[in-house]
Amino acid sequence: MTNKFIITCALNGARRTKKDHPKLPITPEEIALCAGEIVEAGASIIHLHVRDDQGGHSLDQGRYEKAILAIRDQVGDDLIIQVTTESCGQYDREQQMALVKSLRPEAVSIALREICPGPQFIGETIKFFNWMSEAGIFPQIILYDNRDADLFCALHTKKAFSTPCYVLLVLGSYSMTGKTQFEFPLCLTSFTSSPNIVWSVCCFGKGEYEAADFAAQMGGHVRVGFENNIWQPDGSLASGNDELVRHACLAGMKAGRHCADASDVRRLFGMN
């Protein structure tokens, strides 16, 4: 699809706090400042979470609008803003889809298992993804395991997704300590050879560095950032999200691939 290396930065996530890292961006102002740092480091997509007044996970539209405005004031169109619909055990699929329909973001990440938790939801899921395509919303589809991959392939054959579609493979399971079970889904081999699927990976803890190297070498892309990893390879705390982006950019350079900018990504996925 492209030899450019797409780096997404998930700069805060839904769970970590400043007790985990003092530079974890929470407020719109902190998020915007971090956005400026990561675009300079080589990121083209920002994966955005917002928090409530107690610092907890939120899918509040108004909070998203404030954060998006702050990011745009800081970096203009130099980053694609990808909002999350993550349930985090708080939101059901109807609330997740309602957010997307009311906010109409430029880009959104969607865990397929949350939007389509059973076969009875397949028809509605296809309609939702088709609506996003018509509305010009760029989705990334998150797959956690081979069962998710099987569901994705079934929906892909039913033309649920626009072409090319963007998939994120989550390697391992959530950990606050940096430990991970590093395992590549069986579907990865077929994804690497498909002309209609652009794939990316993320990994937890220091496995993030191995994941970036693998993706760069294999023609995929990567998501890094404090949502999944706050550690340097030597086990010390990373100085900021921008440091993790620079490590990923270096992985791309070692593989002979330049970092994609936001305009590269928009062209690839027909967003211009």
Question: Residue 256: which CATH number?
Answer: 3.20.20.70
What is the domain extent for residue 141? 7-268
**The pLDDT of residue 176:** 43
Q: Is residue 1 part of a domain?
A: no
Place 184 in a pLDDT band, splitting at 50, 70 and 90.
low
Q: Is residue 187 part of a domain?
A: yes
Q: Is residue 159 part of a domain?
A: yes
Q: Is residue 150 part of a domain?
A: yes
Q: Is residue 113 part of a domain?
A: yes
Q: Is residue 11 part of a domain?
A: yes
pLDDT exceeds 50 at position 21: yes
Mean pLDDT of 172-200: 62
Query: Can the peptide bond before residue 164 be classed as cis, meaning omega within 30 degrees of 0?
Result: yes
pLDDT exceeds 90 at position 145: no
pLDDT digits (tens, 9 = 90+) for 43-58: 999 999 999 999 999 9
Q: Is residue 230 part of a domain?
A: yes
Number of domains in the chain: 1
Q: What is the 3-state secondary structure (H, E, C) of the chain?
A: CCCCECEEEECCCCCCCCCCCCCCCCCHHHHHHHHHHHHHHCCCEEEECEECCCCCEECCHHHHHHHHHHHHHHHCCCCEEEEECCCCCCCCHHHHHHHHHHHCCCEEEEEHHHHCCCHHHHHHHHHHHHHHHHHCCEEEEEECCHHHHHHHHHHHHCCCCCCCEEEEEEECCCCCCCCCCCCCCCCHHHHHCCCCEEEEEEECCCHHHHHHHHHHHHCCEEEECCCCCCECCCCCECCCHHHHHHHHHHHHHHCCCCECCHHHHHHHCCCC
% of the chain with per-residue pLDDT over 70: 91
Mean pLDDT of 130-136: 96
**The pLDDT of residue 60:** 97
pLDDT exceeds 60 at position 181: no
Residue where the block lists tokens 């496995």: 207
pLDDT exceeds 50 at position 177: no
**The pLDDT of residue 193:** 65
Q: Is residue 168 part of a domain?
A: yes
pLDDT digits (tens, 9 = 90+) for 88-124: 999 999 999 999 999 999 999 999 999 999 999 999 9
Query: What token pair was written down for 156?
Result: 């892909």
